[in-house]
Amino acid sequence: MKRFGSGLFRRSDAPEGEPGRTRPQEISLHEHNLADWERVFGPDHPDTLNGRDRLARAYLATGRHSEAIALLERNLAGRLRVDGPDHLSTLTAQYSLGAAYQSAGRLDDAIRVLEPNLAGWIRVKGSDHRGTLLARSNLGCAYRDADRLPEAVPLFEQNLADAARILPDGDALANLIRQQAPPTYGVGEANPAVRS
C-alpha cells in the first residue's frame, strides 16, 4: 500500500494490466478506497463520487452489471444533489448509467436515462459540442438496439452531418459516429457527407 494525499487510500504497486482489462486485485483496491472515502468524506463528496464511478467501471469491465448499475444509480442521485442537473459531472454520470443499462440489455431504462441526457447536453453545451454528439450517438444506438429505428435514424443522420461539419478529418469521435450509423438506412459509411 502506498500513502498519498491524506494517507488513507491504497494503490497497487503491480504493473498495469492489459488495456481494457480489469484484474480482481484492482477491484478490491477500488472497493477498499470507496469504503474509506465514504467513511471519511461522506457519500456525496467529489472524491467519493469519483471513486464510486471507478468501481462501477471496474465492475462493468468484468461483467458485474447489477453491482455497477447500483453504484451508478447512487452516483447520479449524488451528482444531482451536489452539482444539479446541468453540471457536466451530472451529465456524465447520467450517460454512464444509461450506457450501463444498455450494456446489461435494459434498453427501456437506458432510453429513459439517455433521452434527458441528450436534452441536457444540448441545453448546457449546444448542438455542436462533442459531448452532445456522443450523447446523440448513444441514444441512437439505444433506439437501434431496441428496434426503434424510426427514432434512431434521424439521430444518426444528424450526427453524421454535424460530424462532417465540425470535426476534423480522422477524428476518433467522427469515426465512431460513422461506424455506429446503420448504412442500410442511407446513413453510415456509405454516406458521402462524412469524410473518411
CA 138 to chain centre: 9
Per-residue confidence of the chain (196 residues) as pLDDT tens digits? 333 333 333 333 333 444 455 677 889 999 999 999 999 999 999 999 999 999 999 999 999 999 999 999 999 999 999 999 999 999 999 999 999 999 999 999 999 999 999 999 999 999 999 999 999 999 999 999 999 999 999 999 999 999 999 999 889 999 999 888 776 544 444 443 433 3
Asked whether the beta carbons of 103 and 72 are under 8 A apart, the reply is no
CA atoms within 13 A on the CB side of 112: 6
Neighbour tally for 129: CB within 10 Å: 14
CA atoms within 13 A on the CB side of 109: 15
